[in-house]
Amino acid sequence: MCHRGWVNVLIDAATLNALPDVCILDVRYRLDKPDGRDDHAAVHIPGAVYVDLETELSQPGAPGDGRHPLPTLPVLQAAARRWGIRPGQKVVAYDAGTSLGAGRAWWLLLAAGIANVQVLDGGLRAWTDAGFAVESGEYVPEPSRIELSDYVFPGGAIDIDEAAAWPGHGVLVDVRAAERFRGETEPMDPVAGHIPGAVNLPASRYVDPASGMFATPAEIRAAFAEVGATGDRPVAAYCGSGVTAAQAALAAAIAGLDVAVYPGSWSQWSNTPGRPVAVGE
């Protein structure tokens, strides 16, 4: 399926440094350290406001909702106002360099009507490697009164039943590490394995784990094509809890492809009684 206009989603450190008016979001998040507030306080890009992925880009839910249920629009709008986003203002999200938190912010804000949002390729690491200034402490911007729109997700968003049926008409891509896909290990969720009919495309195929930089559009297209996602059938992605899947949608956008996201992902599937589980390749 051909991508519909979200191709220009990355920004490099030099271009960001030269921008005169931009809302910068620091979305540092790791599975082993979800709260990056102290990291933000220690060092961040000047003028960047901290974004909490757990409470602002998701919200609490039951195990059957997955580990990172989507925030309601009022929750996201209150957060966007706290961040100080003004109507029409460019927004740039970054994290430590994985584009996981930043990708989730990009996906949600774009869906909520923030048209001019990009991700800093390579994150804070790319910024500091380029020698640009940083600051410490907490940055508190002037709150805004921005109005967000109802969610219209880039590439779409699917629920658990659509995920179950997806391999019958499209390509369902599991972007977790290969050993989790095969069911050899499962560090986070109650059951190991994958959704039957899914194919595995680890995120390391399109994001360099060392630098955090995305592969070229041609390389990303080739990686998706290797698992049958060539653009002639609809593609959806899932991961552990919907965060890396949003990063996959971002990667697809770079390559000019549409990828829907299953936000509940394996954390919802594995916590829902009666859902079948596949193991192996």
Q: Which residues are catalytic?
A: 239
Nearest-angstrom CA–CA distance, 169 and 162: 11
Under 8 Å between Cβ of 111 and 152 = yes
